[in-house]
Structure 1
Amino acid sequence: MNTVADMRDAVFFDGEKMRTRFSRFWILLVLAAVIASAGVVGDSTATVIGAMIVAPLMTPIMGIALATVLGDRRNLLRSWLLVVTGALAAIAIGYVVGLFEVAPVTAATNPQVASRVAPDVIDLVAALATGAVGAISLVRSDISDTLPGVAIAISLVPPLCVVGLTLESGVWLQALGALLLFATNVAAIIATGVVILAARRVGPDVDAVDESTRARRRPRAIVFTLLTLVVIAIPLAVISVQLTQQAVLQSRIHAAADPWATQNRWDVADVSTSGSTAVVRLTGPMPIPDTVELVTALKAQGVDPSHVTLEFVPGYEVTLGH
């Protein structure tokens, strides 16, 4: 079991080595942001994972959790400042990298972006579990070797780089979604960290503020952290419901359109949804088939045909060399 002094030394940016820790944090953050931005632009999962391992944001985030439990206002503010300024720096680096990319980096053209602009409740659950592992590894020295796995499990710098890349591409809603993913991860890690550390009876050390002052600060900080988690959970729940509804709509459209398209020697290339409306893209030989049977099939699946738009893309076979 680590002592409070060990925990402070692991996550707080103070003491004799403060300058070294600050320089290490900023060097690793800049490099991680560059690596993550390049990995997103190049659609390289391995590169993005490498950025997750290098990224140092987990340290001040766990510092927030520990400072909250200890009632250490100075280190609480210092850790928050590092998280906020580090996040802004990563966004700026992502924006700059986006300037060197000719094509827009958006969810429609890049799977790395698409996976980070629509967070849902599952992302919150994963972040809560990751925060628990991070807090336990902070308390117990015998499982500190799990931290690289924690870094890979949680996404901190990559969504910030996606914010910058999508801002540069002019897709503000996607940037907001990536920022929500980052905020979700941070809030979940802090909330779980606070709960785990409090459950482990991590108490204030006697070197800083007196116990009575800490006793007043700690409950307020914990309540604020939990309220933040609740506020974050509301938009995630809304997005989760929307994604589920869209998935159900797509499934019903496929169930109606796939057999009809096959019967007419066409293929359903894609079904995209937005709210209650959908666009179905089909490819096949001319002529364009009659849609009466499709309308009937959609109604049988509970889909309003007036909310479905068909895009027919004629396909032609050309034999080269003749």
Structure 2
Amino acid sequence: MSTRKFSTTRDILRFEGKDKAAYWRRFAMLLTLSVIIATMGMLRDSGAVVIAAMLVAPLMTPILGVAAAMVMGWLGRAFNLALIVCGAAILCVLLAWLLVYVADVPRGILIPDQVLARTDPGTEDLIVALAAGVAGAYVQINRSEASLLPGAAIGVSLVPPLSASGILLYFGEPGEAYEAGLLFATNLGAIILSACAVYIVYAARSMVFSKGRRKLNFTASVTVTLAFLALVVLQLGKSTYNRYLETRTEAQVAQAIRDWADPVSVEVIRIDVNAKRKQADIWLIVDLPIEAAYKVSSIAGLLPENLRETPLVDVLQDQLGPGYLVVVRFQNRIGAQIILGTDTVQQAPDVEEISEEN
């Protein structure tokens, strides 16, 4: 295979050739900068800054190098590059943890959404990584399409999940840190597999389908990659199913609460169900009758009669089942409807009715 036609070969040799020291320095510098940008961007909850970290990250090159070495039958190079990627990933997690530790971020605060966004990988992330791997490998072969590389870098998330994992370890959330690491593993395996397919189609068909040791090496390495991806897909499948189950349960609980409260207006602010931990967090606002504004009584005494007949905990147990830890945060407010210019004061209409009219 010619170096001109298969330019990733040069990228592999940059870790080995005469200029390897300069390439290592450049790789380390860009990786460090990428982790710093990603970590600070997540702490600031800024998606734009996190995208900048994706563009700076140099991990795509050695990952594509693993795929190229596999296709060429260079198992030694493929293994060395895989070690480089794994070592860099571990260092990224440690550096992110160190940055948050040095910044002395309070552990009691809410975890930013940009961090939590990397803790819920699913099969759709695998599809995105496969497509991004195809794009990255295509750009490596066709240097004339280099303008597409930023899009491929943004499409696949490599450094941000590692930074998120370090941040979550600092916050004492090892389970969530594992999920962020799973997202990186998903991207890693998918990129290698899809890049192999692109290299075979565009440049290395004769190498792969020829007889001899190279074909055997390629088959062995692809088998290992597929086995790795199979383990990842099993985890992703469980995560995707849990997410589907949680979303469906949240919708059912919200509807059950509305049915329980009817005709009293109850606004469901937020429902978070964690099927794995069997926990639920429910935020409600209950509209009290206008007469309650003129009464001095306990909250229980102010509630409409039908809300006192059937306790909310019974409704939640019917939907979630026994054993769930449920946190209910509710707030009462006075709802009134006033016709301006008159003395007419009535009970406010249901929140759902107002939403439908708008």
TM over 0.5: yes
* 1:194-273 → structure 2 map (5 Å cutoff): 194-202=196-204, 212-258=212-258, 260-261=260-261, 263-273=263-273
Match of 1:311 in 2: 328
Sequence identity, in percent? Answer: 27
Compare 70-79 and 224-233 and name the one that shifted more: 70-79
Structure 2 CA distance for aligned equivalents of residues 19 and 305 of structure 1:
60
Q: Deviations over 1:2-53 (max 9, x none)?
A: 7355221134423232221111100000010011000111101111011000
Structure 1 CA distance for aligned equivalents of residues 321 and 219 of structure 2:
55
Q: Deviations over 1:198-229 (max 9, x none)?
A: 22241688xxxxx8432331111111112211
Match of 2:106 in 1: 103
Whether 1:45 aligns to 2:62 is no
- In the superposition, relative to structure 1, how do residues 193 and 245 fare at CA in structure 2: closer, same or farther (>3 Å)? same
Match of 2:292 in 1: none
- Residue 305 of structure 1 and its aligned partner are, at CA, apart by 6.5
Structure 1 CA distance for aligned equivalents of residues 108 and 314 of structure 2:
37
- Residue 135 of structure 1 and its aligned partner are, at CA, apart by 1.5
Q: Deviations over 1:165-224 (max 9, x none)?
A: 11111111000000000000000000111122122241688xxxxx84323311111111
Task: Confirm or deny: 8 A CA contact 2:5 2:203 kept in the other structure.
Answer: no
- In the superposition, relative to structure 1, how do residues 187 and 304 fare at CA in structure 2: closer, same or farther (>3 Å)? closer
How many residues in Structure 1 have an aligned counterpart in Structure 2? 311
Task: Confirm or deny: 8 A CA contact 1:256 1:294 kept in the other structure.
Answer: no
Q: What amino acid is aligned across from residue 218 of structure 1 in structure 2?
A: F
For residue 61 of structure 2, give the secondary structure of its aligned residue in structure 1. Answer: helix
Normalising to structure 1: TM-score of the pair?
0.86
Structure 2 CA distance for aligned equivalents of residues 291 and 311 of structure 1:
16
Task: Confirm or deny: 8 A CA contact 1:166 1:172 kept in the other structure.
Answer: yes
Normalising to structure 2: TM-score of the pair?
0.78
Task: Confirm or deny: 8 A CA contact 1:105 1:165 kept in the other structure.
Answer: no
Structure 2 CA distance for aligned equivalents of residues 76 and 204 of structure 1:
19
- In the superposition, relative to structure 1, how do residues 79 and 96 fare at CA in structure 2: closer, same or farther (>3 Å)? same
Aligned alpha-carbon RMSD (Å): 3.0
- In the superposition, relative to structure 1, how do residues 271 and 24 fare at CA in structure 2: closer, same or farther (>3 Å)? same
Whether 1:7 aligns to 2:8 is yes
Task: Confirm or deny: 8 A CA contact 1:167 1:175 kept in the other structure.
Answer: yes
Match of 1:63 in 2: 65
Structure 2 CA distance for aligned equivalents of residues 305 and 233 of structure 1:
29
- Residue 122 of structure 1 and its aligned partner are, at CA, apart by 0.6
For residue 283 of structure 2, give the secondary structure of its aligned residue in structure 1. Answer: strand
- Residue 296 of structure 1 and its aligned partner are, at CA, apart by 11
- In the superposition, relative to structure 1, how do residues 315 and 103 fare at CA in structure 2: closer, same or farther (>3 Å)? farther
Q: Could you list the runs of 5+ residues in structure 2 that have no partner in the other structure?
A: 289-297, 335-358
Task: Confirm or deny: 8 A CA contact 2:266 2:284 kept in the other structure.
Answer: yes
**Greater relative contact order, per chain length (Cα 8 Å cut-off, separation 6+):** 1
Structure 1 CA distance for aligned equivalents of residues 143 and 105 of structure 2:
47
Match of 2:21 in 1: 19
- In the superposition, relative to structure 1, how do residues 292 and 167 fare at CA in structure 2: closer, same or farther (>3 Å)? same
- Residue 71 of structure 1 and its aligned partner are, at CA, apart by 1.1
Task: Confirm or deny: 8 A CA contact 2:75 2:221 kept in the other structure.
Answer: no
Which of 181, 184, 199 aligns to 2:183? It is 181
Match of 2:344 in 1: none
Match of 1:169 in 2: 171
Structure 2 CA distance for aligned equivalents of residues 200 and 74 of structure 1:
23
- In the superposition, relative to structure 1, how do residues 297 and 263 fare at CA in structure 2: closer, same or farther (>3 Å)? farther
Compare 6-15 and 143-152 and name the one that shifted more: 6-15
Q: What amino acid is aligned across from residue 200 of structure 2 in structure 1?
A: A
Structure 1 CA distance for aligned equivalents of residues 250 and 308 of structure 2:
18
- Residue 259 of structure 1 and its aligned partner are, at CA, apart by 5.8
Q: What amino acid is aligned across from residue 249 of structure 1 in structure 2?
A: T
Q: What amino acid is aligned across from residue 9 of structure 1 in structure 2?
A: R
For residue 36 of structure 1, give the secondary structure of its aligned residue in structure 2. Answer: helix
Compare 242-251 and 196-205 and name the one that shifted more: 196-205
Which of 117, 121, 133 aligns to 2:135? It is 133
For residue 128 of structure 1, give the secondary structure of its aligned residue in structure 2. Answer: helix
Q: What amino acid is aligned across from residue 255 of structure 1 in structure 2?
A: Q
Q: Could you list the runs of 5+ residues in structure 1 that have no partner in the other structure?
A: 206-210, 318-322
Structure 2 CA distance for aligned equivalents of residues 272 and 291 of structure 1:
25
Structure 2 CA distance for aligned equivalents of residues 291 and 86 of structure 1:
59
- Residue 143 of structure 1 and its aligned partner are, at CA, apart by 1.6
Q: Deviations over 1:124-159 (max 9, x none)?
A: 111111111111112223322211111111110011
For residue 303 of structure 1, give the secondary structure of its aligned residue in structure 2. Answer: helix
